[in-house]
Structure 1
Amino acid sequence: MATRPVRRTSARSLVGLSAQARARWRTMYAQTPYQKLPWFDPGPSRSTRLAVSTGFLPMGGSILDIGCGAGSNVIFLAKHGFVAHGIDISPGAVAAARERASKARVRVDVREGDALALPFADGSLDGAIDHGCFHTLPIRRRAEYATEVRRVLRRDGRFVLTWVAREHTGARGPPHRPSVEEVARALEPKFLFTRTAFQAEREGGGPACYLAFLLRRSTPQPPRM
Structure 2
Amino acid sequence: MRKQRNWNESYRDGDVPWDTGRPSPELQRVIMQHGIQPCRALEVGCGSGTNSVWLAQQGFQVTAIDLAPLAVEQANRKAKKSGVQIRFLSGDICKWDQPMESFGFFFDRGCYHAVRREPGNAYVNVISRLLASGGRGLILAGNAREPHVPGPPVVSEEDIRNELGEKFCILDLQEFRFDEAPGVPEKFLGWSCLVKKLDL
The structural deviation recorded for 1:121 is: 3.3
Matched, 1:52 2:34: no
- What TM-score, normalized by structure 2, do the two folds share? 0.89
User: Structure 1: which 5+ runs fail to align?
Assistant: 1-18, 221-225
1:85 matched to which residue of 2? 63
Q: Verify: 1:38 aligned to 2:17, yes or no.
A: yes
Does structure 1 conserve the Cα–Cα contact (< 8 Å) formed by 2:173 and 2:191?
Answer: no
Kindly indicate whether the alpha-carbon contact (under 8 Å) linking 2:177 and 2:187 is maintained by their aligned counterparts in 1: no
Is the 8 Å Cα contact of residues 142 and 186 (structure 1) preserved in structure 2? no
Q: Give the aligned residue type for 1:49.
A: Q
CA distance in 1, matches of 2:115, 2:171: 24
1:209 and 2:189 correspond: yes
More strand by share: 2
2:88 paired with 1:110 = yes
Change (3 A) 1:56 1:142: farther
Counterparts in 2 of 1:111 and 1:28: CA distance versus 1, 3 Å: same
Tell me the number of residue pairs that the alignment of Structure 1 and Structure 2 aligns. 197
Q: Structure 2: how far apart are the matches of 1:185 and 1:123?
A: 27
Offset at residue 56 of structure 1 (A): 4.5
**TM-score, length basis structure 1:** 0.80
Task: Using the TM superposition, give the Cα deviation of residue 103 of structure 1 relative to its aligned residue in structure 2, in angstroms.
Answer: 1.0
Identity in percent:
23
Q: Is 2:2 the counterpart of 1:20?
A: yes
Moved more, 67-76 or 131-140: 131-140
The DSSP-based 3-state class of the residue aligned with 1:203 is coil
Q: How far apart in 2 are the matches of 1:104 and 1:28?
A: 24
Match of 2:18, SS state, is coil
Structure 2 equivalent of residue 70 of structure 1: 48
Unpaired runs of 5+ residues, structure 2, are none
Distance 2:45 2:19 in 1: 12
Aligned-residue CA RMSD (Å): 2.0
Q: Following the alignment from structure 2 to structure 1, what is the Cα–Cα distance between the partners of residues 27 and 97?
A: 22
Conservation of the 8 A alpha-carbon contact between 1:126 and 1:154: yes
